[in-house]
Amino acid sequence: MRRFWCWWGTTTAADLAALVAQPSRTALLLDFDGSLSEIVARPELAVPVEGAADAVRALVPTFGLVAVVSGRPTDEVRGLLGVEGVHYEGSYGIRVAAAASPDLPFAAVEQAAAATPGAMVEPKGVSVAVHYRGCPDPQAAREALLLALRPVAEGSGLELIEGKMVIELVPGGSSHKGDVVARLAREENALAVLYAGDDLPDLAAFSALDDLAGEGMSVLRVAVRGDETPAELLEAADEVVEGPRGLVALLRELV
């Protein structure tokens, strides 16, 4: 696969041809944190990078589906980007009614996190996240938190998923980004699909694009490179852009 290490867009017309050939049958699916916004010390500090909202807004009238797929709650990510006409899919597409354990063990999670100085617990409605970016030794914090949180998750029918310096407890057997991507593309009856992301959960989205390609859809996997972007996501990508500003430049090439 070809990969482009760019700050501003260097994608050729041929690379984007399938996406713009029949734009009304194209789905553009975008992660938020680390993709449309920079990674920040605390989740509440995140904002779209300059030009991100305008770039996404310009896509809406032309393309069949423009969506943001995020681990954040839907209303939260909608408020952060604030672009009308975008489909917002939060909480990895988890549906409350489908949650295996609606009573999340917040007290047990907080107790486990309290043993790791600097760890922060974030309730997210249908899931709960523990951030360790503020810990003095993040790697040691990760190992301690995984050890402490695994029995909490197993005892409550939950699963652990990891992202950039965060461990999240989600309902067991619930959907993930790959499920959301596949569902949205099929519901749209898309001929072409782009997904852009920067973290481990986005690997599931890339895998879903592999399946959609097998069904005859044209796909483009875009990795948004930052200091913490996992190497396996970069390797799986068709194209790599440098940070959220690189993604904004790529999106501008589509209109």
What digits encode the pLDDT tens for the residues 192-202? 999 999 999 99
Chain length of the chain:
255
State residue 205's pLDDT score.
96
Per the CB < 8 A criterion, the answer to whether 220 and 238 are in contact is: yes
Distances from the Cα of 29 to the Cαs of 34, 69, 87, 164, 169, in angstroms?
14, 7, 9, 20, 24
What's the CATH superfamily of 98-171?
Answer: Trehalose-6-phosphate phosphatase related protein; domain 2 (3.30.70.1020)
For 237, the token pair is 């990508």
Given this model, what pLDDT does residue 109 score?
A: 96
- The residue written with tokens 């423009």 in the block is 66
**Which superfamily, per CATH, for 5-94+175-252?**
HAD superfamily/HAD-like (3.40.50.1000)
pLDDT at 94: 76
**98 in Cβ contact with 174 (< 8 Å):** yes
Helices marked H in the chain: 13-21, 52-59, 74-81, 106-114, 138-155, 177-187, 202-214, 231-236, 243-252
Domain extents in the chain: 5-94+175-252, 98-171
Report the alpha-carbon distance of residue 136 to residue 46 in Å, rounded: 22
Please compute the mean of the pLDDT values over residues 174-179 and round it to a whole number: 84
| Nearest residue to 88 (alpha-carbon basis) of 56, 133, 43 | 56
Q: Report how far residue 244's alpha carbon sits from residue 50's, in angstroms, rounded to the nearest whole number.
A: 9
pLDDT digits (tens, 9 = 90+) for 93-135: 876 444 444 578 999 999 999 999 999 999 988 889 999 999 9
Q: How confident is the model at residue 15 (pLDDT cuts 50, 70, 90)?
A: low
- Ramachandran region of residue 113, left (φ > 0), alpha (ψ -120 to 50) or beta? alpha
The answer, yes or no, to whether residue 9 has pLDDT greater than 60, is: no
| pTM for the structure as a whole | 0.87
Alpha-carbon distances of 50 from 165, 225, 244, 247, 250, rounded to whole Å = 24, 17, 9, 11, 14
Residue 7 is predicted with a pLDDT of 39
Residue 172 confidence (pLDDT): 80
- Report helix, strand or coil for 149: helix
